[in-house]
């Protein structure tokens, strides 16, 4: 069966959304069926892509010797008793108001601030949850919506992906810089102790932010794409922790020259590749989720922030 290239690209986008947890296998099959015209053709196309069958499939394929204890449920509800959560805040940006999800521990003194940068599906509930996880760890956390210029993240993930593809690196950087200014200006935040963490496209945006501001004290990029340009690494002032996945081979291979250059420049950084994991292994709503690796990576992330922010 031959599929036209533009149709193939669209199906690959749908598959990427499935892996990232945008919808389940049944919904993926339904959407691909609409594209190809029959469930049989859709099934054949998806089988050829060898997608994971369900979230957590890889969870027990490897034994990990990690020092962290993985809780049964890592998620933090919006009504968590120990947090003060604002579902949506607004602050000024270059092209208009920027939306964000904000969370902090209750009854806390001044705290460091963490900017959480979403994947290419916008500020969805998963990233709001990660923002609350950062708050529970003892930070003022801000999950930015990089689709704010286009009205904010819609409910449908396919629509959100289409909107993200209309954004530009320059616009996203400007909005992240506005978010850093907003976060540092809060009276509950230590303005000289700010950091950022991003996932997938958000990891690439996190790299870009770290290369274009000296306001960060640390940055963590989870399988960040695109990788930063070698020529710009001289600009890096913040320590960076780079987290990548073994089976995400094309991307992980591309980050190696960056690591070599950081070593040559003697920049402070950490680098970890998780064995047996694939892209988006930290996303607990997606098909590539690997709970032990995700738990360990998040533990390393928090330890990195504690080291450089406190």
| Whether pLDDT at 58 is above 60 | no
Where on the phi/psi map is residue 96: left (φ > 0), alpha (ψ -120 to 50), or beta?
Answer: left
Encode pLDDT of 274-299 as tens digits: 999 999 999 999 999 999 999 999 99
Encode pLDDT of 116-153 as tens digits: 999 999 999 999 999 999 999 999 999 999 999 999 99
CB 85 within 8 A of CB 116: no
Domain(s) labelled CATH 3.40.50.1820 in the chain stretch across: 83-309
Encode pLDDT of 206-261 as tens digits: 999 999 999 999 999 999 999 999 999 999 999 999 999 999 999 999 999 999 99
| DSSP codes joined into one string, 32-96 | HHHHHSSHHHHHHHHHHHT--SSTTTTTTSS----SSPPPS-----TT-TTEEEEEEEEEEETTE
The CATH code of the domain at 83-309 is: 3.40.50.1820
- Binning pLDDT at 50, 70 and 90, where does residue 34 land? confident
Encode pLDDT of 250-280 as tens digits: 999 999 999 999 999 999 999 999 999 999 9
Distance separating alpha carbons of residues 34 and 221, to the nearest angstrom: 35
Encode pLDDT of 76-104 as tens digits: 999 999 999 999 999 999 999 999 999 99
pTM of the model: 0.83
Q: Which pLDDT value is given to residue 60?
A: 39
Q: Which pLDDT value is given to residue 122?
A: 98
Q: How far is Cα of residue 213 from the mean position of the Cα atoms in its chain?
A: 19
**End-to-end C-alpha distance for the chain, whole angstroms:** 58
Distance separating alpha carbons of residues 209 and 187, to the nearest angstrom: 23
Map tokens 């506005």 to a residue.
Answer: 178
Q: Which pLDDT value is given to residue 61?
A: 40
Provide the mean pLDDT of the chain. 89
């Amino acid at each position: 069966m031959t599929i036209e290239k533009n149709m193939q690209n669209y199906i690959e986008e749908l598959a990427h959304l499935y892996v990232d947890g945008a919808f389940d296998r049944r919904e993926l099959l339904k959407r691909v069926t609409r594209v190809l015209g029959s469930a049989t053709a859709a099934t054949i196309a998806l089988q050829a892509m060898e997608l994971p069958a369900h979230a957590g499939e890889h969870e027990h394929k490897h034994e990990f010797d990690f020092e962290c204890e993985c809780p049964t449920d890592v998620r933090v509800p919006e009504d968590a008793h120990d947090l003060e959560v604002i579902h949506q805040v607004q602050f000024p940006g270059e092209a208009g108001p920027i939306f964000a999800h904000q969370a902090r521990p209750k009854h806390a003194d001044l705290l460091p601030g963490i900017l959480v940068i979403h994947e290419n599906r916008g500020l969805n509930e998963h990233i709001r949850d990660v923002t609350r996880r950062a708050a529970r760890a003892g930070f003022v956390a801000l999950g930015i919506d990089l689709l704010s210029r286009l009205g904010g993240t819609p409910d449908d993930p396919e629509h959100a992906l289409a909107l993200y593809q209309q954004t530009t690196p320059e616009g996203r950087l400007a909005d992240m810089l506005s978010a850093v200014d907003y976060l540092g200006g809060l009276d509950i935040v230590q303005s000289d102790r700010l950091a950022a963490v991003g996932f997938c496209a958000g990891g690439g945006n996190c790299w870009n932010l770290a290369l274009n501001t000296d306001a960060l004290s640390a940055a963590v990029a989870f399988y960040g794409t695109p990788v930063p340009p070698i020529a710009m690494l001289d600009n890096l002032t913040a320590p960076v922790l780079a987290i990548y996945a073994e089976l995400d081979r094309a991307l992980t291979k591309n980050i190696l020259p960056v690591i070599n250059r950081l070593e040559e420049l003697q920049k402070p950084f950490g680098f970890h590749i998780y064995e047996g994991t694939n892209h988006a292994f930290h996303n607990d709503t997606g098909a590539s989720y690997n709970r032990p690796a995700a738990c360990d990576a998040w533990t390393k992330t928090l330890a990195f922030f504690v080291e450089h922010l406190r």
